[in-house]
Amino acid sequence: MKIHLQTPQEIRPQIWKELGRASQDRHHEWRTPVLASTDADGLPDARTVVLRQVDALAGQLTFYTDRRSPKVPQLQAQAQAMLVFWSARLSWQLRVRVACTVITAGPEVEALWQGVKQSAAAGDYLSPLPPGAVLTKDSSMTPNAETANGLAPAHHFAVLRAQVLQMDWLELSREGHRRAQLSATTWAWLTP
């Protein structure tokens, strides 16, 4: 069902409502946006991430990652990044400029890990090899030595917090496309 909103006072809260839904609903199209960061050579590097939490009041989006992932040093070196969301159901594209903080240790990471470690995704953060490592005949995806000895393996779970700086909202419609740029305090209609 397509939502047709008319005013900034209707559109802004609906964007945040859809983001909140996406963090809870595995089938929402905004659940898996593309995150684009800048690599060490200054080139764009994009990948799909999973939206885990939304705090509309603070203007923050939360994702989980492996602390050994290439995006971690990229975002630590250049915190600004771009998220791109698309929903065919809504006919909405949302581009979100963010400033990212990577949290690799501490009480928040450990509290969230307690929930993740009970899920099927836990293995992603327990792998002895970092994301993107080349697999060879000698490198296997077997549990690490701690698991073999009955000890709890060390996890590589980290939290990626994205502070929303600006949004570019585009609605595609047969009646005419609409586009707006908004921040926490501003709104401007743009040419689609």
Q: Where are the domains of the chain?
A: 8-128+154-190
- Residues with Cβ within 8 Å of 38's Cβ and at least 6 positions away in sequence, in order, are 44, 45, 74, 77, 78, 81
Instruction: Please count the other Cβ atoms lying within 10 Å of the Cβ belonging to residue 13.
Output: 12
Q: What would the CATH number be for the domain defined by 8-128+154-190?
A: 2.30.110.10
DSSP structure class, residue 138: S
Q: Where is average pLDDT lowest: 12-21, 81-90, 133-142? A: 133-142
Query: Residue 117 and residue 4: Cα distance in Å, rounded?
Result: 40
In percent, the amount of the chain with pLDDT more than 90 equals 85
Over 90: is that where the pLDDT of 11 sits?
A: yes
Do 74 and 38 form a contact (C-beta atoms < 8 A)?
A: yes
Over 80: is that where the pLDDT of 113 sits?
A: yes
Between the ranges 91-95, 131-135, 173-177, where is the mean pLDDT highest? Answer: 91-95
In percent, the amount of the chain with pLDDT more than 70 equals 90
Model confidence at 141, pLDDT cuts 50, 70, 90, reads low
Query: Residue 18 and residue 191: Cα distance in Å, rounded?
Result: 23
Q: What is the pLDDT of residue 146?
A: 47
Average pLDDT, the chain: 92
Q: What is the pLDDT of residue 167?
A: 98
- Residues with Cβ within 8 Å of 42's Cβ and at least 6 positions away in sequence, in order, are none
Over 80: is that where the pLDDT of 96 sits?
A: yes
Do 169 and 74 form a contact (C-beta atoms < 8 A)?
A: no
Helices of type H across 25-121: 71-77, 107-116
